[in-house]
Amino acid sequence: MTRSPAPWLVALSLLPMTAHAHPDPARFNATAFASEPAIVDCTLEDGSTAQCYEFTVPYKPAELEIGPFCPSDIDGEGGLWDWDGEEAGLYKLDRAFWEMLAAQGYKFYDEDGTIAISDPGSGARPTADHSCLMATQDESVIITMRLPVTPVMAEDATGLGTVAQVGVALDGVPIFADAPSVLETGHLPALDVCGGHIDPGGWYHWHATATDIDTIAEHEGVAVDCGAVAQDPTAIFGYAFDGFPMMGSLEADGTKPEGLDQCNGHVGATAQGETYHYHASPEFPNLPTCLVGLTAQDKFATTAQNGIGAAGFGGAGPNGAPGQGGGLPEGMDDAAKTLGVTLPALLDALGTGPRPDFDAAAQTLGVSVEALRAALPARP
């Protein structure tokens, strides 16, 4: 049986080759890079060789003010969270939110109203059943990212699960998919009011299109003031790891996008001309749910001791504490499902070190070493 091509492949085939807009280093903020971008040889997901832009960025932009994250008590100033339990929605981390979670069996504070706070990068287990996760920044961390110079369409779209690597913003900040659910881990990796937080490795990253978070706030009815990032729903936020632009919820001319595919993208006019591009949605997280192009096999690495992109397989936080968004390698949630165990149980068995004891982990989980290794994603 002949297989029909994906809709985006049909659309792109009708455009001139110049319509495949590539990542443009000149469009990034002048202070985004730790060193000048370079073009290097790379290998794409399908094994084909290509050339990639290599971007090296610091742990966060020097001029970017981040926070607040976890408040010290239920009346303190906190950030945001996208709750997916009963009464789901986007919330400010205030008294009403904490009391709502407590009524559902997730109590994050003591009798004095003090919030239990844990650092997922410390290697220590949270002492409370439910804690607000807030990692410590490490100014020494350098992040290296690679994007194809010329985007290449994939035969099938690639889904973006929990904390999947999505792309890089024009300010140089990495972009990741939704953070792990409190329902899975028991702990809450607080986001600031612009939709980002610090990875256990000590570097900052986005979990939303920060330049269009006002649209989410209006849609969700939440009072958010992301004063650290200029809001513009028509602007390019950054580039996905497949090389295609990521825009706000509106087109460059201010109109509402039409004909969006399953990844929330389409072919249309951008500041770089007519090309495929993604759009932010009005719901949180407002990022693409999948990527239509191929990404580089070695697209993300850091000099951090743990977290996503750290040397070795490790970097997962203590039991339930991967939720800071960086301690969870892409595909770990699928690995847990394949093995028939919970995500916290899998992470707890693997531990926080750079070299897991697979024999001990397999014994703890009640599976074979072969099954464990086969289920786990490749090392970053």
DSSP string, 164-208: -EEEEETTS-EEE-PPPPHHHHS-EE-B-TTSEEE-TTS-EEESS
- Would you give the end-to-end CA distance of the chain in angstroms? 37
The predicted pLDDT at position 154 comes to: 94
Give which of 171, 156, 204 is closest to 308, Cα–Cα: 204
Residue 3 has pLDDT above 70, yes or no: no
Of 13-27, 79-93, 278-292, the range with the lowest mean pLDDT is 13-27
What pLDDT digit, counting tens, does each position of 251-305 carry?
Answer: 999 999 999 999 999 998 888 788 999 999 999 999 999 999 999 999 999 999 8
Q: Is residue 345 part of a domain?
A: no
Q: What is the pLDDT of residue 124?
A: 80
Residue 51, Cβ density class (10 Å: 0-12 exposed, 13-18 middle, ≥19 buried): middle
Residue with tokens 């074979």: 368
Helix, strand counts (H, E) of the chain: 8, 19
pLDDT at 249 over 70: yes
pLDDT tops 50 at residue 336: yes
The answer to whether residue 369 sits within a structural domain is: no
221, burial (CB in 10 Å: exposed 0-12, middle 13-18, buried 19+): exposed
The band of 330, judged by pLDDT with boundaries at 50, 70 and 90, is low
- Is 48 or 2 the better-scoring residue by pLDDT? 48
Q: What is the pLDDT of residue 165?
A: 94
**Interhelix angle 332-339/343-350, nearest 10 degrees:** 100
pLDDT at 317: 35
The two three-digit tokens of residue 27, written as one number? 């469009």
pLDDT at 345 over 90: no
User: Is residue 147, in this structure, part of any structural domain at all?
Assistant: yes
Lowest mean pLDDT among 125-129, 133-137, 268-272: 268-272
Q: Give the global pTM.
A: 0.80
At 291 the pLDDT is 97
Average pLDDT over residues 111-125: 92
Over residues 153-180, the mean pLDDT reads 93
3-state secondary structure of 334: helix
Structural domain of 50: 1-330
pLDDT of the residue at 319: 31
What's the rounded mean pLDDT across residues 135-155?
A: 95
Mean pLDDT of the chain: 86
Q: In the structure, what pLDDT confidence band is assigned to residue 86 with cuts at 50, 70 and 90?
A: very high
Answer positive or negative: Cα dihedral of 279, 280, 283, 287.
Answer: positive
Measured between alpha carbons, how far is 202 from 310 in angstroms, rounded to an integer?
A: 11
Percent pLDDT > 70 in the chain is: 85
- For residues 239 and 150, give the distance between their C-alpha atoms in angstroms, rounded to a whole number: 12
Please state the separation of Cα 62 from the chain's center in Å.
20
Residue 349 falls inside a structural domain: no
Does the pLDDT of residue 53 top 80, yes or no? Answer: yes
Between 189 and 15, the more confident residue is 189
Those residues with Cβ within 8 angstroms of residue 10's Cβ, 6 or more apart along the chain or in another chain: none
Residue 372 lies inside a defined structural domain of this protein:
no
Mean pLDDT of 224-233: 92
Q: Is the pLDDT of residue 27 over 90?
A: yes
Q: Is residue 337 part of a domain?
A: no
- Residue 271 in any domain: the answer is yes
Number of domains comprising the chain? 1
What was the pLDDT predicted at 321? 35
Q: What is the pLDDT of residue 182?
A: 94
Q: In this structure, what DSSP letter does residue 98 have?
A: H
* Residue 92 domain-assigned (yes or no): yes
